[in-house]
Structure 1
Amino acid sequence: MSENTFNLKAPRIEVVDALRGLAIMAIMLLHNLEHFDFYYFPEYLPEPIKVLDKIIWETLFFLFAGKSYAIFSLLFGFSFFIQNDNQAKKGNDFTGRFIWRLAILFVFGLINTMFFSGDILMIYAVFGLILIPVRNLKTSYVLIIATFLLALPMEWFNFFNILFNADYVIPANISNAYYANMQLYFNGNSFVDHVVGNMSVGRWASVFWSWENGRFFQAPALFMFGLVVGRKQLFVSSPASIAFWKKALLFAILLFIPLFTFKSFIPEIVANKDLQNSLLVIFTSWSNVAFMVVLVSSFVLLYQKEAVNKVFSKLIPFGKMSLTSYFTQSILGSFIYYRFGLGLYQYTGATFSLLIGITLFLLQLGFCTWWLKTHKQGPLEYIWHKATWISFKKEKKPVII
């Protein structure tokens, strides 16, 4: 998650806010389809609704699953560049402030986990530390490190050991056991039990799932790519940046098609289940990143069109208040679907959950638009900013514009 009031002398880069708004909207819709990790598919629904549920589920997951998270990761690195660069121009070292800022984000994530165990803020707060040692490296070195991480070296290590080492012990899937244990408190109606469960069982389920699906490598890699995007000013509208995104779109499409096709056929062409799992993790990650680039480049290019800009720019308030929006969707979602609230998980398939998600998005978007008419930042963004720049000693303070 990124700071929503950049320390810039130039106007904010609106396409970034709008793009962040798209990502938080997509996350909202997917979380509703999943009932915020309380997976349940009602059997009482008419068959035509079940068919529609399947279509909606597969379509939204194809478009956004793993991609909206990747967009967030890219923008996290981009925002770090903006903050670090601004402080460097003032003669300030941003290192200490950034570490403190991540600590605050970790606390936000801890609170958010009380409502939704799939919180990503805590993970971002930890992984974000990797930006400190690479921030002053040459761009070519940053790209090499990021590409290496994006290749998922640990998964390739597992793959080749499974293939050639008969004595190799395959890492156990730990997250599934934790997710199964989550049902023990999900099936109850005590909010306190949910909080305790999410802070322990649910939190570890999310962490182990991230490890088993390559997120420990993918997220830092995308942070670094976002840093490079900032350095190259690729979100600033110019002939050079437009040319870049056109090339990026073409290459991403050409990469995504074979990656996604191969991923889809892995179960049919690879008999060994362990090899299947390793390859699925690798090629799912790569195809998601490729499609993320398709989404980002298409969004940036379409944003230059006046007619499309009028629609996409509506997402700007949502993007500016991304932390507040992400936080409140966890609170609202848990109340709507969990047993301690309305318990709608047992009545809603993908179709009805999507309608709920769209309604929540429109309500949140309306609130963000209204709030920013009289405030420069969202409520949590304001707290994060103020806490980040709390005065430990005399130093030059950022100017909010």
Structure 2
Amino acid sequence: MGGRIAALDVLRGVAILGTFGTNVWAFTHPGGPAGFLADFGDSGDALLRMISNGKFLGLLSILFGIGLAIQHDSAVRRGRKWPGWYLWRSALLMVEGLVHYVLIFEFDVLMFYAVVSVVVAYLVGRGPRVIRAWLVAFGAVHLFLVGVLTLGLLAGQAQVSGPGLTVSTASWWGQVESRIELFALFRAEGFFVLPLSAVLFLAGARLLRAGALENSPRGAKVQRRLMVWGLGVGVPLNVLTTLAGPNWFAVDRYVVAPLVAFGLLGGITALVHRMRPEPGFLRGGVAAVGRSALSCYIGQNVIASALCYQWGLDLARRGEHLGAWLAVGLWFLVSALLLLGASWWMRRFERGPVEALWDRAYRAPQRERRPVGA
């Protein structure tokens, strides 16, 4: 593994584990995801939630854009039509996201990534000026939506929390029915951030071509800039918007948190390049999670569901008296299981289990279309 790929694997692993740091609050809420949505504006443990709120999902979106650009550049080098079969990849991602949403988790992101990936696939090969223009356009739409929502919150015409739903977690099948019935409610945030996702995808593609992942003087310069803006400016702003209260929620989660995500990209990449070539257990484990990112993303939600919901061990209600400590403890437990499991698996197999099935589904129709004897 070269330094560039190693950095990308570690970044993906951090993003997956960090995303669970946001989702864990939904799993450990006594009312399940519906109860978490109803209490979304609760300011309790605000600074603790700030650590993961929006940042790692933003980082994951940037990395998805980087991956899309890598696939585009590979197709161009091989003389293959673009987007071509990439659209089949996006279709598979949409199906997988829908299945994940219905069967496992209310706040799945794969469906929306599939939608945005189709749009960005047609833009990623365009010139810098065209991409910049689309970045500005998508960014303007996103800031307009955030501004409208923030003005509504400040004027008391909107609220952060969802309706007072009561969705029991006593039955897995009952949860499935609830996800289908409340599809529009649980999917609302994903539709709201489609322009932001497009911005982050395109920004990831541009950062790849600017050398942001390189272990070189050019790469180091980009990484420093990302850290200055994302960490030096973004983190203080993040503290301010978090402490400002729920009325500034949209700015905090959808503007400032993505800014911090760019700082994480630069900081983690710079750190990886300064480490010894031979990874230790922690770095190797995080990289293994990154190499099997899709499996770990789904796996962490399956594990947390079995541990927290009433149809499982019901830790969310049994440990309600622990407060935030339950969420923190569950994050450490599930993360440790992923690090150990991914490390064991990736030492024996080339791909994660879901990735292997996904790759077979992606390649199957291509094999069928090959001429006889090819």
Which TM-score tier does this pair reach, normalised by the shorter chain? 0.7 to 0.9
Which residue in the other structure is 1:298 paired with? 267
1:149 aligns with 2:123: no
Sort the Cα spacing of 1:161 and 1:257 in 2 relative to 1 into closer, same or farther, 3 A.
closer
Contact map agreement 1:26 1:68 (CA 8 A) in 2: yes
Q: Distance in 1 between matches of 2:357 and 2:136?
A: 35
Structure 1 CA distance for aligned equivalents of residues 80 and 251 of structure 2: 40
1:97 is the counterpart of 2:85: yes
1:366 aligns with 2:340: yes
Paired residue for 1:140? 129
Question: In structure 2, what is the equivalent of residue 378 of structure 1?
Answer: 352
- Deviations, residues 169-190 of structure 1 (Å, cap 9, x unaligned): x7x769823xx33x2333xx22
Q: Cα gap change, 1:36/1:97 in structure 2, threshold over 3 Å: closer, same or farther?
A: farther
More off after superposition, 218-227 vs 250-259: 250-259
Unaligned runs of 5+ in 1: 1-7, 41-53, 268-275, 396-401
Select which of 12, 20, 23 maps to 2:15. 23
Aligned partner of 1:317 in structure 2 is 288
Normalising by structure 2, we get a TM-score of 0.83
Q: 2:209: which partner in 1? A: 231
What is the identity, as a one-letter code, of the residue corresponding to 2:176? V
Residues 137 and 336 of structure 1: CA distance in aligned 2, closer, same or farther (over 3 Å): same
Could you say if the C-alpha distance between residues 122 and 153 of structure 1 is closer, same or farther in structure 2, counting changes exceeding 3 Å?
same
Structure 2 unmatched ranges of 5 or more = 33-42
Aligned mates of 2:238, 2:335 — CA distance in 1: 29
1:205 alignment counterpart: 185
* Matched-pair contact (CA < 8 Å) for 2:13–2:293: yes
Residues 157-209 of structure 1: CA distance to partner in whole angstroms, max 9, x if unpaired? 7379979xx9xxx7x769823xx33x2333xx2221111112331x4223213
For 1:87, the aligned partner's letter is: A
Asked whether 1:282 is paired with 2:228, we answer no
Summarize deviations over 1:361-388 as a string: whole Å, max 9, x none.
1122111111111210001111112212
SS at match of 1:351: helix
In 2, Cα distance between equivalents of 1:81 and 1:295: 20
SS at match of 1:184: coil
Letter in 2 for 1:184: V
> CA, structure 1 residues 195+96, in 2 after alignment: closer, same or farther (shift >3 Å)?
same
Task: State the match for 1:388 in structure 2.
Answer: 362
What is the number of residues matched between the two proteins?
351
Q: Higher relative CO (CA 8 A, sep ≥ 6), structure 1 or 2? A: 1
CA 1:29–1:281 in structure 2 vs 1: closer, same or farther (change >3 Å)?
A: closer
Q: C-alpha distance in 2, partners of 1:36/1:75?
A: 28
Paired residue secondary structure (1:13): helix
Q: Give RMSD over aligned pairs.
A: 3.2
Partners of 1:61 and 1:161 in 2: how far apart? 23
Distance 1:161 1:344, change over 3 A: closer
Structure 1 residue identity aligned to 2:356: Y
TM-score (norm 1): 0.78
Is residue 251 of structure 1 aligned with residue 229 of structure 2?
yes
- 3-state SS in 2 of match to 1:95: coil
Letter in 1 for 2:7: V
Q: How does 1:168-183 map to 2 (within 5 A)?
A: 176-177=162-163, 180-181=164-165, 183=166
Offset from partner CA, 1:11-34 (integer Å, 9 cap, x none): 871111111111111222332233
Deviation at 1:266, TM superposition (A): 5.3
1:95-154 deviations in Å (ceiling 9; x for gaps): 231211111111211221112111111111112211122122212331332244234243
